[in-house]
Amino acid sequence: MTLSTSIFAAGICHFGILIASALVPKVLDWRHQLQTLTPLCRHLVWTHGAFIVLVIIGFGALSVGLATDLAAGTTLARCLCGFIGIFWLTRLIIQLFLFDARPYLSSRFLKVGYHALTIVFTGLAGTYLYTALAPHP
């Protein structure tokens, strides 16, 4: 698999993550859980969530539409891939060491999905960090 094909596949994975993200408010019962917050804090949670979705859409669109450019090894491509890689590595670390999702993994579907996301985050971090750091022809 070429580097540009790997980046393209990683871009597709971003859109898969969005499908999983759409389930979060329902699974975590945000409507009920966030009611205890002040209106400003509640709106901040929803706004931050929306901006994260926008960032993931951007990463996916750039990766699908510009996979060859991102694999080219230019300074800009390496910096962007490095940023995306650090983003997903940080998300993976948070998933592994901060989040305790066990109380919410109440069905086989949710357990499999959670572990699949962990694998996807690992793959995304690895793909983009490798692209940022690997020697290019």
Residue 118 — pLDDT band, cuts 50, 70, 90?
very high
Measured from the Cβ of residue 6, the count of other Cβ atoms closer than 10 Å reads 20
* 47-94 residue pLDDT tens: 999 999 999 999 999 999 999 999 999 999 999 999 999 999 999 999
Task: Report which of residues 132 and 31 the model is more confident about.
Answer: 132
Q: Which residue pairs from 89-97 have beta carbons closer than 8 angstroms and sit at least 24 positions apart in sequence?
A: 89/125, 89/129, 91/121, 91/125, 92/118, 92/121, 92/122, 92/125, 95/121
Q: What is the mean pLDDT of the chain?
A: 95
The predicted structure's pLDDT at residue 136: 74
Quick one: what percent of the chain has pLDDT higher than 90? 91
| CA 33/CA 87 separation, integer angstroms | 27
